[in-house]
Amino acid sequence: MREKPAAGRILLSITGMYPQRWYEMLSKARSVVLEPEGEEDPTIEYAVVWKQKRGVLKRLPNLKVIFSAGAGVDHLLADAELPDVPIVRVVAENLAQHMVEYISWRVLDHHRQGITYRAQQAQKIWHEPPQPPANEVSVGIMGLGELGGAAAKALLALGFKVNGWSRREKRVEGVSTFHGRDGLTPFLNATDILVVLLPLTSVTEGVVDFSVLERLRRDGRLGGPCLVNAGRGRLQKEADILRALDEGVLKEASLDVFEQEPLDPKSPLWTHPRVFVTPHAAATSDATHLVPLMLEQIEAFERGEPLKNVVDRAAGY
Ligand code: NDP
Ligand code: OXD
């Protein structure tokens, strides 16, 4: 094992995820602390955080880089006292693979009438509903970034038509792309299954509301549009989703993320017959795969190389 340097210690501040594996993995290379020592701790140069304890980062006068333990950084940017140092977020094949699995699973389940078949099985009904092929169904991905882009590739390989919506103009092979406010309506109008993989920012908060769901294609081959949200819960308005389901605007939904997590036991989403709930588990950050990437970045940074996957604070992601 390598010598642990006295300086360049790492603060690990993780809540809402198990910190043990992060601690074990980081400790193989560096001295790791769970709390700064004293009012100000000058020995800590890096922080690895997920929903960090409020105020902990401002006690680190020599902090050089903050690593988010996840791809999203809304948990970090919500800290009003966040020090002005670069924030590096997770971009990793392992995470993208998990998200691709989740999105492919949910899209295929809606496409192949999983909810209908499970209801039929419960009543021992032998009936085959009409089943269009994938190339007659359009999946629209809101957020065509690292994860949305990987999902688009997998969905194209399954034969779906794929639309993508991003903030800036973008070209992705095989994908019909739309961007910005002006691109939203044509994107929604051409979409049967809406996949949400946006970051939560001041602009995207609440974007998945009734008016968005209402613009999805109603006369597509699936008999009604479906929603899959694996981005963030506060992107969606849950009352609007329930209304859209109950008014026939939306056929089905798969939700991995919620306005409040854990989802309140009283939420009607738990028991709605056309909603599939998972507990923010679409693509969980795995320390075994992610810590080596963080340590590589620290070493490269100390050799004077630029950091990768740095968050644009002004854009909020
Ligand atoms: P990226 O930053 O790579 O991609 C974000 C995409 O969203 C980009 O295409 C970006 O547009 C687009 N976007 C951002 N703001 C807007 C806007 N105002 N209007 C239109 N498009 C916008 O992020 P990732 O793909 O790595 O991750 C996406 C999100 O997935 C994370 O922020 C996180 O919240 C969530 N996530 C959820 C997990 C789970 O388990 N449920 C696991 C991991 C991540 P542009 O290309 O123009 O920049
Ligand atoms: C993430 C997440 O943002 O796990 O990485 O939600």
- Is residue 71 domain-shared with residue 137, that is, in the same domain? no
Q: What's the confidence (pLDDT) of residue 6?
A: 52
pLDDT per residue over 50-74, tens digit each? 999 989 999 999 999 999 999 999 9
Active site residue 111: no
- Is residue 62 domain-shared with residue 112, that is, in the same domain? no
Q: What's the confidence (pLDDT) of residue 29?
A: 96
- pTM value is 0.97
Active site residue 110: no
Distance from the CA of 143 to the center of ligand 1, in angstroms?
Answer: 5
Annotated active-site residue in 243, 272, 280, 289: 280
Domain extent for 243? 94-277
Distance from the CA of 59 to the center of ligand 2, in angstroms?
Answer: 25
Ligand nearest to the CA of 231: 1
Q: Which residues line ligand 2 (CB under 6 A)?
A: 70-72, 90, 285
- Is residue 13 domain-shared with residue 107, that is, in the same domain? no
- Is residue 134 domain-shared with residue 224, that is, in the same domain? yes
Cβ–ligand 1 distance for 147 under 6 Å, the answer yes
Residue ranges, the chain, pLDDT below 50 = 1-5
Please identify, by atom number, the ligand 1 atom nearest to the C-alpha of residue 90: 26
Q: Which residue has the tokens 């991905």?
A: 141
- Is residue 102 domain-shared with residue 204, that is, in the same domain? yes
pLDDT per residue over 127-155, tens digit each? 999 999 999 999 999 999 999 999 999 99
Please identify, by atom number, the ligand 1 atom nearest to the C-alpha of residue 166: 21
- Is residue 85 domain-shared with residue 101, that is, in the same domain? no
